[in-house]
Amino acid sequence: MLPYVNGGEDAEGVSENMKEVLTSLGDNQFSEALTREDPVIRSAVREFLWDDYVRGGFPRSFRILVTAPDVEWPADKALQRSYEETGQEPPKDEPWGR
């Protein structure tokens, strides 16, 4: 929800931690926890996981995360503005799990 670009070591650290939580808990326990969360929270969790990693070893969690809504976070808007301000074309956002 931060209104600036979410990147660098902070974002990488959150991603690594989220991956470790998923790996440590396993697919059943992680997916059960996801089902108890609001869909927007599932979307936030998805932001910090890698599609290929989850798809390859955590099918239940993958199915839940794919169905999470596509949220345009304030950090996404900040990134878009930064590209526009420098006259660059922002990269295409690949839909997760598709």
Write out pLDDT tens, residues 37-90. 999 999 999 988 999 999 999 999 999 999 999 888 787 788 788 888 888 887
Write out pLDDT tens, residues 17-44. 999 999 999 999 999 999 999 999 999 9
Amino acid 96: pLDDT? 76
Amino acid 7: pLDDT? 63
Please report which confidence band the pLDDT of residue 98 belongs to, taking 50, 70 and 90 as the band edges. Answer: low
Q: How would you write the chain as a 3-class SS string? A: CCCCCCCHHHHHHHHHHHHHHHHHHHHHHHHHHHHCCCHHHHHHHHHCCCHHHHHHHCHHHHHHHHCCCCCCCHHHHHHHHHHHHCCCCCCCCCCCCC
Map out the domains of the chain as residue ranges: 8-85
